[in-house]
Amino acid sequence: MFSTIFNYELKYWLRKPAFYIYMAIFFFLALFFSASSAGIFDSVTVTTGSSSIVNSPFGINGLFNAMTIFLLFLFPSIIGVSIHRDYKSEMHTILYSYPFTKANYLFAKFLSSILIVTIIIVVVGIALFIGFRMPGTNSEIVTAFDFKSYYSAYFIYILPNILLFGAIVFAVVTFTRNIAAGFITVILLLFVQGLMESLLSDPENRFLAAMVDPFGASATNYYTRYWTVSEQNELHLPIKEVILYNRLLWLGIAALVFGLVYKFFAFSQNAISISFNKNKGERATKSNFGGITRINLPKVGFDYSFVQNLKTTWKLSNIDFKYIIKSWPFLSIVLVGLIIILIALSEVGNLFGTPTLPVTWKMLNGGSSFTIAINICTFLYAGMLVHRGKIANMNHLVDVTPTPNWTLFMSKFIALIKMQLILLAVIMVSGILFQMYNGYYDFEIGHYIQELYGLRLINYAIWAFLALFVQTLFRNPYLGLFVLLVLSVGIPLLRFAGLEQSIFKYNEGPGFQYSDMNGYGNSFTRYFAYKIYWLFAGLMLLVFTALFWVRGLPHSFKERLSIAKSRFKGITIVGFAMFLICFLSLGFKIYHVNNIENKRTSSKEREIKNVEWEKTYKKYENNAQPRIVAVKAHMNIFPKERNFDAKGNYLMVNKTEVVIDSILLNHNNYPSTFKFNKEVDLVLEDTIYNFDIYKLKTPLKPGDSLELDITVNNKENTWLRNNSPVIENGTFINNFAIFPSLGYSGAGELSDNKTRKKYGLPPNDLKPHPSDSTALGNHYINKDSDWVDFEATVSTSEDQIAIAPGYLQKEWNENGRRYFHYKMDSKILNFYAFNSAKYEVVKDKWNDVNLEIYYHKGHEYNLDRMMAGMKASLDYNSKNFSPYQHKQARIIEFPRTRGSFAQSFPNTIPFSEAVGFIADVDDTDKGGVDYPFAITVHEVAHQWWAHQVIGADVLGATMLSESLSEYVSLKVLEHQQGKGKMRKFLKKALDDYLTRRTFEQKREKPLMYNDGQGYIRYQKGSLVFYALSDYIGEDVLNGALKKYVEKVQFQYPPYTTSIDMVNHIREVTPDSLQYTIKDMFETITVYENRIKDVTSTELENGKYQLDIEFEVSKYRNDEKGKKVYNDSITYKTEDMRKPIISVPLADYIDVGVFAEDESEDGEKTEVELYLKKHKITEINNKVTIIVDKLPVEVGVDPYNKLIDTNSNDNRRRL
Amino acid sequence: MKLTIKDLTKTYKNGVKAIDNLNLEIGTGMFGLLGPNGAGKSSLMRTIATLQSPDSGSIEFGDINVLDDKMALRKVLGYLPQSFGVYPKMSAEKLLDYFATLKGVKLKSDRAALVKEVLEITNLYDVRKKHVAGYSGGMKQRFGIAQLLLNNPKLIIVDEPTAGLDPAERHRFLNVLREVGTNCTVIFSTHIVDDVKELCNEMAILNGGRILQHTTPTEATSEIEGQIWTKIIERDDLETNEASYNVLSSNYNQDNTLNIRVHALEKPADDFISASPQLDDVYFIALKQDEPTLA
């Protein structure tokens, strides 16, 4: 019997067109993803340049699994349908009386549908294979076909996942006899999976996270998380412990689920129903004798008017709306969504364990995780409503009523909108609940309503139009749903195929962003211009819905077309034409503004432009240019009008030993004028690259000077286009954005060598090596100046304060505007910014230095911490390195719409409202890092480490600024808050470093030769300097740095390099620790330290003896992340399959023993019983340590000072 | 008002000609449409009820051109399909209010009064708060009548409404229908001859998409007065008899003999006795004549 049912099922599917449609959709999806990742669209969009191989085992596993997750959405309509079909056709009433066993029936149904799913997956595999090799893909990033990658992805991940999710869907549909239930289950499972992942995102929980992930991705990640690019490209995915446990666990659960189906499934007529009030059975009889009644229907008024139909529309929408909100799929989505939002909210903006205050915009941002739920509900319920009559078999009763079609489908549309209103309210409710839970009672209900209903609703409504149309077009609501999902995910991805303009992609367009300082700024007009544009598209779809609306019997598509044609008349044509005209004219307007009035540059064109720029102008790179020695700026900011106009004056001197005959002026595309104080000829004016060459009538002799007067202003802003960086409250503009620079700039050069080769450019090294003594003429901030005199006048509206670096000389009002004149008393880098907003000011003093914080009213929360940070940083840096060069330090808040960072200009630090002003710091031991304090310390430290010591524009320059500022920040934090809190910081830094290096697209260099990547200069830099201070002592290290600062501060060319700094450190490092310089600065060295075994014995004298066995090994990575050893030692015991290899060791490694103290309220704190550096020369080590108290934990490098890919096995509990 | 159907033809995608150049005129009163399963009854009724479009032909009801102005017909139409479902978890009262809205009853109070009345007519008032989806077959059919009455229809189309009803339900159903049908046109399709006999003042026999006979029940039976003959035979003799006579029906008796009815203008043989004609005989004669002959 099994084979009969099985074969019948297979034949059923093979005959069904839907099967081939699904197959085709997946074939093309997989083809699109694989081909585009392999660069098939390189001819129309940017070149896919990367050091990653796209079809490495790692890449294939990722892509293949992602496709399967998409396939999950089809499970209800394949696996669910296999059994649901019998209910729907009421075949089960006959079938279930036939002589086959439950096992035959269930297994045949289940396995046949699994086979169907498998066929689709095989098609996906084939499509991936073809996609990577399609003509036009970039063969540089595709490696040879490797069958093992496909089948191990299939057998280890995909097959178990199909069985698991298949079994779950099968179970749900079998028992509820409802496909929608199966579908919602899939969505909920995906939600819950996402939830678990974010709940268990802490590194401590990685094992648990690996086990509970039903897809197994976290289990793989458990091993591959820190794989370097070379490992990702070359290695096969491991198949070992955690992955196997995970797979077995979930296969077991799949078996269990299927077992439950088998146990509880009965060949019965009725679905299992759960009833909470079990009524006692009653004998039921009906009256079998009815008299004849006279029929006398009451006289009632019938009204078929338009107005009445409108009322009917509303009434019907209420009925449909009630149907939605009472259905359990909806309720479960709302419930799970609520939980997810609440959890997402607790994660939002969490930095080093410190959350931010739950301000409303944070709540609204966190609620974005609900977006997908709203879309899925819209897509699903559009189908459920359109087909509601058919599903209930009531459509014929409805269709013969004198209600016009538009009333029917408009009522469905309105019901969908009402549903969206409710779902948006969920975001508001959860936001407010979260705020209340956190004791934050500043509820901005108006803000919630404005954003949710004023801004976001229209976006969802536009989707609802599409959903209604697609669901009307397709007879199967699940196919419709799937198509909608593919559309909603796929439309934004068209960008990768070179379709970049939003006006060609349904419901795409610019977004909006809120900041406390500037509200929504000027994002409204553009946002609504696009939304209204798409609204017209939606209305046209509504007309199509009207044309294709099914009334009566199902028709063939041909018949529907002819019906549509016959319906397209009169008011329908007029309406459609109107929408079309509005759509096209608005679209044309937007297109015109973005393409004709202003030149639009596609990513491809931009790439080519960069190539052309380099090819045309790189020859001028080494042309001698004068250096700017003084800058006078005059900046007028008009916040209300969002305009600026500025004047600048550069004083330049020929510091070279050659005669300079022409000036290369590299400017921006703002309307500008340039005027030299000497006679010049404009010999080249390039309006594409905004690069001009002026030939001096009388060449500039060495030592001669030249002045340049600049005027610059922005073009008028229009409703579709912002032409100015000025915003209404919180303008923040730096000099690079408005003023010109001298000479060729290499900033835009393509960095990927394969792409460069394609365009005939030589490979580049980005920056010269620090040992190249000819490359030290410029520091890394500017190429046209060393240290400059600076003076600025800034004006703004009367209610704002405008700020530039320097000391306030004078403040006055003139013509209803407020003017500020700032001047520097010492030379600074040619690097400054203008800020303007309605500020409150708080002032303080450190010694004779004036401290000021300019902040947005209402953001008072952390001013004390920032003030303390300024003082602590000034204190530490001036004590340890050199005196502070200024007499003031200012922090200036700017809106988060401008970014979430702080940046140090001379004595002036613009600081984003998002990164400290609203932090919610917990000062207890359990709390996270006080980052308003830490960031302030870092930024103030830049006044030394950038504004006193500035590195030459060569590799490793950022180590001198960013790594050192981060080091200072860590040290100040350590002195203030103790070592305990440092672990959090260090662990996070280590995790971030190890994670981000896996995304390296070009190369990773050792710290002192780094290319400027954030993960090296911040994370690795902080780890290295912190560890170094531990090894050689903070005083010794700072002593060396002090000597170094004294040597190089305010230096003119040749500028200092990392080599110089490292040499200073090397000098004070004892011989036994010289290896740390090599490991930390000169190479990428990674440890693999772990406790192997430990036993503790209580001695007679009450002390404890610990016998610890641990392993220490380290390897080096080349710039692609390949392990290299050169010389090596190995260790292997008989039960080890592979030996442990290490670079020869003569290292000093911490070994620690810890006890626990329990305070009165049950809080446990760690107590260090023993911590000492042991000299390690072997991989395998055994030590015996005697301690006084009961030990609970031992560790090798227990504080994770060293870079170690698995920091969790460094400790072992007893 | 009169329903006039002219030259109506409908062919389905699979090649079946469900309605074949059909002409029919139906006046006020109960009109029974008799035909075997698959005769095209439902297709015809759905076409009249505006649920599907014919390939050609015309349908007029009074001065309404049904095919061109579907809305006009829907205003006066009451339709009960052969099988229907309802939205789950909705009570009869709610559902009827829903339908009353769809049928254009404007005022809430009007709808309430109307719903109450139709519930009482169909004897569903006591169970008005119960979910219709949980009704028994008879109750559900009565609900179908209740919804059909809501717009006080002039043309009522009911498709095989008595199939599967118990005798009491069937009687009650037919009575209600009769009541309703006094002042309007009721088209009533069935394959149960008794339904037509008891109820209809006019009837047509439909097969293969064509009207075989358009008559009244009394006229039809009186036309074949004296042409129906019956005889009791052994089972084994059936084939011989079928070969010699025009056998309309054969029924078993309790002793395993067969009772056959034969149509013939004169007594076919001595052992036949004359029987009074039934409507069944009319039906079978019509179908017999329509059987494909082996040419």
pLDDT at res. A83: 83
User: Of the candidates A301, A312, A392, which has its C-beta nearest B110's C-beta?
Assistant: A301
* Chain B hits for A330, Cβ within 8 Å: none
When scoring B67, B71, B106 by the number of chain A Cβ atoms within 10 A, the one with the most, hence best to mutate, is: B106
State whether B84 and A288 contact (CB < 8 Å). no
Q: First-to-last CA distance in chain B?
A: 43
- DSSP annotation of A732 reads E
Q: Is A815 on the interface with B (CB under 8 A)?
A: no
For A550, nearest residue in chain B (alpha carbons)? B51
User: Amino acid letter at A140?
Assistant: E
Which residues make beta-bridge pairs with B229? B262, B274
pLDDT at res. A951: 92
When scoring B10, B13, B103 by the number of chain A Cβ atoms within 10 A, the one with the most, hence best to mutate, is: B103
For A294, nearest residue in chain B (alpha carbons)? B179
Decide if A523 contacts A727 (C-beta within 8 A).
no
Which residues make beta-bridge pairs with A638? A643
Q: How many Cβ atoms from other residues are within 10 Å of residue A1136's Cβ? A: 9
Q: How many Cβ atoms from other residues are within 10 Å of residue A701's Cβ? A: 10
User: Amino acid letter at A1116?
Assistant: R
Q: What does the alpha-carbon distance between residue A644 and residue A26 come to, in Å, rounded to a whole number?
A: 52
* Chain A hits for B123, Cβ within 8 Å: 287, 290
pLDDT at res. A349: 64
Q: Is A335 on the interface with B (CB under 8 A)?
A: no
User: Three-class SS of residue A1015?
Assistant: helix
pLDDT at res. A84: 84
For B175, nearest residue in chain A (alpha carbons)? A292
Measured in angstroms, the CA of A545 and the nearest CA of chain B are apart by 19
Low-confidence ranges of chain A (pLDDT < 50): none
Measured in angstroms, the CA of B218 and the nearest CA of chain A are apart by 24
Measured in angstroms, the CA of B283 and the nearest CA of chain A are apart by 30
- DSSP annotation of A455 reads I
Q: What does the alpha-carbon distance between residue A224 and residue A636 come to, in Å, rounded to a whole number?
A: 54
> b or e along A801-811 (b: 16 or more beta carbons within 10 Å of the residue's beta carbon)?
bbbbbbeeeee
Interface of A with B in 367-406 (CB under 8 A): 388, 392-394, 396-404
User: And the tokens for A907?
Assistant: 């004595």
Q: Which helix (H) or strand (E) holds A1169?
A: strand A1164-1176
State whether B107 and A290 contact (CB < 8 Å). no
Q: What does the alpha-carbon distance between residue A1094 and residue A1108 come to, in Å, rounded to a whole number?
A: 4
State whether B151 and A402 contact (CB < 8 Å). yes
* Chain B hits for A290, Cβ within 8 Å: 123, 168, 172, 175
Decide if A1075 contacts A1147 (C-beta within 8 A).
yes
DSSP A184-218: HHHHHHHHHHHHHHHHT-SGGGHHHHHHH-TTSHH
What is the distance of C-alpha B238 from the center of its chain?
Answer: 32
State whether B84 and A396 contact (CB < 8 Å). yes
pLDDT band for B13, please (50, 70, 90 cuts): confident
State whether B74 and A400 contact (CB < 8 Å). yes
Q: Is A556 on the interface with B (CB under 8 A)?
A: yes
Decide if B237 contacts B261 (C-beta within 8 A).
no
Burial class of residue A827 (count of CB atoms within 10 Å of its CB; 0-12, 13-18, 19+) = middle
State whether A290 and B123 contact (CB < 8 Å). yes
State whether B86 and A392 contact (CB < 8 Å). yes
* Chain A hits for B99, Cβ within 8 Å: 397, 401
Phi, psi of B11, rounded to the nearest 5 degrees:
-115, 130
Q: Which residue, among B139, B202, B151, has the nearest Cα to B180 in the 3D structure?
A: B151
User: Of the candidates B13, B111, B175, which has its C-beta nearest A556's C-beta?
Assistant: B13
Q: How many helices and strands, by DSSP H and E, does chain B display?
A: 10, 14
User: Of the candidates B88, B151, B172, which has its C-beta nearest A392's C-beta?
Assistant: B88
Size of interface A-B (CB pairs under 8 A): 130
Phi, psi of A745, rounded to the nearest 5 degrees:
-115, 130
* Chain A hits for B166, Cβ within 8 Å: 288
ipTM: 0.92
pLDDT at res. A492: 87
Interface of A with B in 768-797 (CB under 8 A): none
* Chain B hits for A294, Cβ within 8 Å: 179
pLDDT at res. B295: 43
* Chain A hits for B136, Cβ within 8 Å: 286
pLDDT at res. A962: 93
Measured in angstroms, the CA of A309 and the nearest CA of chain B are apart by 8
pLDDT band for B279, please (50, 70, 90 cuts): confident
The mean pLDDT of B27-40, rounded to a whole number, is: 87
Q: Which residue, among A1094, A1113, A1089, A1099, has the nearest Cα to A1194 in the 3D structure?
A: A1094
**CATH code, B3-214:** 3.40.50.300
Rounded-to-10 torsion of CA A712, A716, A719, A724: 10
* Chain B hits for A328, Cβ within 8 Å: none
* Chain A hits for B174, Cβ within 8 Å: none
pLDDT at res. A726: 94
Pairing state of beta strands A849-855 and B273-274?
Answer: unpaired
Q: How many Cβ atoms from other residues are within 10 Å of residue A534's Cβ? A: 27
User: And the tokens for A545?
Assistant: 């819905």
Q: How many residues are there in chain A?
A: 1214
